[in-house]
A and B are shown apart, each in its own frame.
Chain A
Amino acid sequence: MSSASRSSDLLGHFAHVDTLVEAITAAQANAYEVCDVYSPVPVEAAQALISPGRSPVRFVTFAGGLCGLVGGMGLAIITSLIWNLVVAGKPITAVVPFMVVGFEATILIGAISTLLGMLIFAQLPYRRFPTPAYRASFSRDRFGLWLRCAPEQVEAVQRLLEEAGAEKVEVLSIAQGGRS
């Protein structure tokens, strides 16, 4: 949570991706804090500026998949040792058919882990919805750039956003400087 009381928040509404990216670049160049960017579609150029690098969800998936494989094979092997079903001339602990169980368990636990990883890293469910800067148009056809600056910099930031191509610039009144 950033310092609250002596900062101002502005929201730029953009209709185009290139103007949005231009605004983000300019904001970062001037060391203004980019609180968040809203978009109806993923924008790789903006993501490269705000949050470069790959999502770590894949590590959670890998760990989950591994647990699934070990768990699935383990379940089949251990239960076969506890309950010795002697059938059809096959070994009691038959690794060959158990591979199918292990494989499916890998996918199942891997997928559930991926879901959990995504929810955790994307902070979903987002309890503080809607944020002060979120607007309904951001899920339709507009992009939003939420900047924070010192009160004396508001005009400069407003100018920066307008020059970059913002359709509209709102100065937000946020009581305690809440952030996304």
Chain B
Amino acid sequence: MSTHHPQLGALSYGQVDHDILATLGRPSRAYLAILVFCFGLVCIGAVSYYHLLTKGMGVTGLNNPVGWGSFITNFVFWVGIGHAGTLISAILFLLRVPWRTAIFRAAEAATVFAVCTAGLYPLIHVGRVWVAYYMIPFPTGRELWPNFRSPLVWDLIAISTYLTVSAVFFYVGLIPDIAAARDRAKPGPRQFILKLLSLGWLGSIRQWKHYMGAYVLFAALATPLVISVHSVVSWDFAMSVIPGWHTTIFAPYFVAGAILSGLAMVMTILIPLRRVFKVEHIIRPYHLESMAKLLLVTSLIVGYAYFIEIFIAWYSGNPFEIAIFKYRATGEYAAIFWLMVICNAVVPLLFFKKSIRTNILALFIISIVVNFGMWFERYNIIVSSLAHDFFPTAWGIYEMTPVEWGIMLGAFGLFFLLFLTFVRILPSISIAEVKESMPHPLRGRKR
């Protein structure tokens, strides 16, 4: 299935096994310190949310006219982050791209945890979270059903589908690696749990046959999800009539933006991870450079979308469209707009230069810049359009309150807490696929 990766030819199966499973060893103090820090952030988020639950939505900056603010911004941001993992796992698998093998597991984990984090936000945003189950289509006995014509209900279905499929894909991919960890673990509770999770995987030929058949199908099913989920999220905005929201380019524009932000986050995670776990010989500069090229492509698409939106606003003569773009560039949120353009459409252009693409520090800094840029983009689109729609008498300003900042910090803390926990429990690099991408051991070759 996978193409042989010449750069891994010098390693043996045993060495790959050893090096990757070694990352599950005893954690260092620095790791524990970061874990505690992330837990601290989660606590801040929890306290902030408790405050919101007890005092009501008035503690946020949400009001007329800006009824969607940081919660929806973060929701879209985290859903977007998830897309790179699915792209790398599923689409690049089908395209048999060789650089995928060493990095897709970490990217997939980032997807699952990002979607989990994203899924909290609609629950926070609805306010009365204790009746959030109203959104679920089940026989209530009162003949009430959700409005399936609403993009918000499409969101519910799309995000649940995305979480389910990503989690299943993630888990299925882990089975052979859990088996490898099981076979190396000392008898005890850890081995027992690994035995359960591995489902008794033997690596028999018949198991591999059905496993690989299913894996291709999962990849084929996850591929349209990469496009459809963020298209559905974009339609939360595009289905309205608000200037700056109601435009046909939103679906592909958001998908490209999602992949951009996801790749940036995966790079932000992988660069320290490879150093800390001493797997620089497995996650090589080649992998990071390949991701940088893909990031550049998506950045160009996002830049195209910015340009075309502005051109069409001018071309159309629609006074409201022209007004919103003028407002974004010169109004109260102008700094966010310009930061968005610079971080997403200008800074990544540095990746045209090979020396920058292959410089680890530059890759790390640019990935963080893009992360910021994509957050600014969501904020810019959502808040500026609501703050400045048709009637001047309806214009208003929104600012995030400390409660919203606290919840946002908590969400970031939760994501990194989940991810850091994962990398110590389960292999963050796919053992089986890295072995698969190496040349098969043949008799007479030194191993």
Contacts and interface: CB of A to CB of B under 8 A. Distances in A.
A adjacent to B, CB under 8 Å: yes
Interface of A: 15-19, 36-43, 46-47, 50-51, 54-55, 57-58, 61, 65, 72, 75-76, 79-80, 82-83, 85, 87-88, 90, 94, 97-98, 100-101, 103-105, 107-108, 110-112, 114-115, 117-119, 121-131, 134, 136, 138-141, 165, 180
A42 to B, nearest CB: 4
A140 B13 contact: yes
A112 B225 contact: no
Interface in B192-239: 195, 199-214, 217-218, 221-222, 224-225, 228, 232, 235
Contacts of A117: 210, 214
19 contacts: A15-B441, A16-B445, A18-B443, A39-B205, A40-B17, A40-B203, A47-B205, A51-B206, A55-B213, A82-B143, A100-B232, A104-B158, A105-B161, A111-B165, A111-B218, A118-B213, A121-B210, A126-B199, A139-B180
Contacts of A37: 204-205
A108 B442 contact: no
A81 to B, nearest CB: 10
A88 B63 CA distance: 23
A116 B447 CA distance: 38
Contact of A83 (B143, B195, B205, B224): B143
B176 interface: yes
B183 interface: yes
B114 to A, nearest CB: 18
Contact of A57 (B158, B210, B225, B447): B210
Given A118-B210, A139-B183, A141-B13, A101 B161 contact: no
Given A16-B443, A131-B202, A108 B213 contact: no
B440 A43 contact: yes
B149 A138 contact: no
Given A40-B203, A124-B200, 15 more contacts: A38-B202, A51-B209, A54-B213, A79-B137, A98-B149, A101-B148, A107-B221, A107-B225, A108-B164, A122-B214, A125-B199, A129-B200, A130-B202, A139-B180, A180-B202
A17 B441 contact: yes
Contacts of A36: 202, 204-206
A93 to B, nearest CB: 10
B137 A75 contact: yes
Contacts of A114: 214, 217-218, 221
Contacts, number: 216
Contacts of A180: 202, 204
A42 B214 CA distance: 13
A42 B384 CA distance: 53
Contacts of A134: 202
B318 interface: no
Given A42-B1, A43-B440, A123-B207, A87 B147 contact: yes
A36 B214 CA distance: 20
Contact of B154 (A82, A90, A104, A108): A104
Nearest to A34: B205
A128 to B, nearest CB: 7
A79 B269 CA distance: 44
B165 A107 contact: yes
Contacts of B157: 72, 100-101, 104-105, 108
A42 B209 CA distance: 7
A47 B200 contact: no
B144 interface: yes
